[in-house]
Every structure is written in structure tokens, then in C-alpha cells.
């Protein structure tokens, strides 16, 4: 089973690139973040034409939005709200083979890494705390689970282009890393990226739109993650970061798709 996750930054604007992703990688399941569209306007027809007849979409006007698209049946589709907000950041579905899948979009957190001065940063930290509590309560090493998406945090030294220069930049601050690590430990999650790519190698999934040349400066961050429960570790068969997608024309997303192959 091949599963891909992508922060698409508008599914309507980038539908042609989504179809290209489908043609080039033939995933069984596609998880999206930042779809930026209400459910009634989600472009399901074009996606169903490619064989993805099962969709669980959870979007809102202009901001956020997550989705799970599949050519395998989806059951037990659900959504969760965090921090008392209905802002469309978490979609859940069950895949064949007793696999529970979560597509998640963690709040970005704004620019100032201070929860007192910056409510967006406080929201991000609270979101992580609440998810850690929930994952801890229901944690079960024997259950097959996948949690993936744009976590908006690059926790390791080599998840950013410069650990030193990123210390006080939102996405790589100590408090965020502490919260994300606590979430990972509470849920007993195994990081698929670092299962395949050693921690001393650079690993990026996002490059800013603001760079003059993203490829030359290569100031990336590892913001998009795929985590699995211990029960799925023996099934891990492959992992790819589709770096080339950062240059897809016209109008690439600032995030690239990340995929995992599972031998179930």
C-alpha cells in the first residue's frame, strides 16, 4: 500500500499538479493539507476519474482544510476539533487491513515564538498538548495506525538548514520541539522519515516561497512527517520525499509530497 501526504496549498489552484502526482506515483491513498476549500467545492470528480472513488474531505473557506482520498474503501470516517475551534485540521479514516489513518495540519504558529505575546503560538502549543493527551489515552502498540501531515515543526538539527540560525525561528524552537517530542512519545509513534534517513543527514520537505532560488539556497525544513505505530514498523517498505515537486510548473506548492510504502 502506497500512501502520500502533501500540503497542497489550495487543492483547486493546484488540481493539475495533484493529477500529475497521481500519474507519477500511483498512490493508493492521498492525504492533503491546506486544501482551502469548503467540502461542496472540493474537486472530487476529476479525482474520482483517476480511480479515487473514496473521499473524506474536511474543509472550510480560505484557510486550512484536510482530506483523505483513496482508491481503497474508507470506513469510519471522522473529524476531530482541537482547542475548541472548528478549523478543519484533522481527518480520520480506516483503511482495509485494520489501518487507522490520520491527516493532520498543525497550526503554523505565527512569527513570534512567545505564547504570551503571540496567540497563534499559544494555539500551536495547546494543539500539541491536546493531541498528546488524546494519543496517550488511546495509545496501543498492537494497533495499526498512521498519523501524518504538515506538523509545522522541524524537530531535529538536520531537519533545518541551520540549527544555530533557526533556534528562535518558529518551527524549530526548543518549546515546540519539546511539545512535538512529547506527542510522539505519548502516542508511541515511530518517525518513518528518520527510520529511512539517518538523523545526521539533511531532510527537508518545505522551501520558502520567499527565497530568490529555493534550489540554490536550499534553506529547507522538515515540516511534513509520517508517523506509524509500532505494529506497522515491520511493514515499512519505502519512503520518498518528492523534492522535484518544489519546481513543478506552473505554481508549485512550498511543500513537497512525501510518501510511504507499506507491505501489509
Contact residues: DNA, CB under 7 A:
9-10, 12-13, 36, 61-64, 107-110, 120, 152, 209-210, 251
Instruction: Return the ∠ at Cα 169 (arms to 179 and 195), rounded to 5°.
Output: 50
CB of 151 to DNA, least distance (A): 11
Q: Distance (Å, rounded) from C-alpha 183 to C-alpha 87?
A: 20
CB of 121 to DNA, least distance (A): 10
Q: Distance (Å, rounded) from C-alpha 38 to C-alpha 187?
A: 30
β-partners of residue 191 are 227
With respect to DNA, which residue has the nearer C-beta, 107 or 155?
107
Lookup result for grid cell 475551534: 85
With respect to DNA, which residue has the nearer C-beta, 9 or 173?
9
CB of 124 to DNA, least distance (A): 9
With respect to DNA, which residue has the nearer C-beta, 138 or 251?
251
CB of 222 to DNA, least distance (A): 15
With respect to DNA, which residue has the nearer C-beta, 13 or 190?
13
CB of 31 to DNA, least distance (A): 17
Q: Distance (Å, rounded) from C-alpha 23 to C-alpha 254?
A: 20
Q: What φ, ψ does residue 198 adopt, rounded to 5°?
A: -55, 150
With respect to DNA, which residue has the nearer C-beta, 63 or 185?
63
Q: Distance (Å, rounded) from C-alpha 64 to C-alpha 159?
A: 23
CB of 159 to DNA, least distance (A): 16
With respect to DNA, which residue has the nearer C-beta, 61 or 138?
61
Amino acid at each position: 500500500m502506497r500512501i502520500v501526504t502533501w500540503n497542497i496549498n489550495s487543492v483547486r489552484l493546484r488540481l493539475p499538479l495533484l493529477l500529475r502526482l497521481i500519474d507519477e506515483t500511483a498512490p493508493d491513498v492521498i492525504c492533503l493539507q491546506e486544501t482551502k476549500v469548503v467540502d461542496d467545492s472540493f474537486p472530487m470528480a476529476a479525482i474520482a476519474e483517476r480511480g479515487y472513488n473514496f473521499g473524506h474531505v474536511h474543509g472550510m473557506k480560505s484557510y486550512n482544510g484536510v482530506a483523505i482520498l483513496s482508491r481503497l474503501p474508507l470506513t469510519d470516517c471522522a473529524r476531530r476539533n482541537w482547542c475548541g475551534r472548528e478549523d478543519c485540521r484533522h481527518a480520520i479514516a480506516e483503511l482495509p487491513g485494520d489501518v487507522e489513518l490520520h491527516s493532520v495540519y498543525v497550526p503554523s504558529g505565527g512569527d513570534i515564538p512567545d505564547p504570551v505575546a503571540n496567540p497563534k503560538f499559544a494555539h500551536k502549543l495547546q494543539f500539541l498538548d491536546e493531541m498528546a493527551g488524546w494519543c496517550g489515552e488511546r495509545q496501543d502498540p498492537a494497533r495499526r495506525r498512521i498519523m501524518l501531515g504538515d506538523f509545522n515543526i522541524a524537530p531535529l538539527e538536520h531537519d533545518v538548514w541551520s540549527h544555530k540560525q533557526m533556534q528562535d525561528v518558529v518551527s524549530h524552537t526548543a518549546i515546540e520541539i519539546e511539545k512535538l517530542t512529547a506527542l510522539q512519545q505519548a502516542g508511541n509513534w515511530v518517525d518513518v522519515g528518520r527510520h529511512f534517513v539517518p538523523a545526521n543527514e539533511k531532510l527537508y520537505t518545505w522551501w520558502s516561497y520567499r527565497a530568490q532560488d529555493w534550489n540554490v539556497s536550499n534553506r529547507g525544513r522538515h515540516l511534513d512527517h509520517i508517523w506509524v505505530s509500532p505494529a506497522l514498523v515491520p511493514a515499512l517498505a519505502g519512503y520518498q520525499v518528492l523534492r522535484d515537486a518544489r519546481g513543478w510548473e506552473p505554481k508549485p506548492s512550498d511543500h513537497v509530497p512525501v510518501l510511504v510504502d507499506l507491505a501489509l
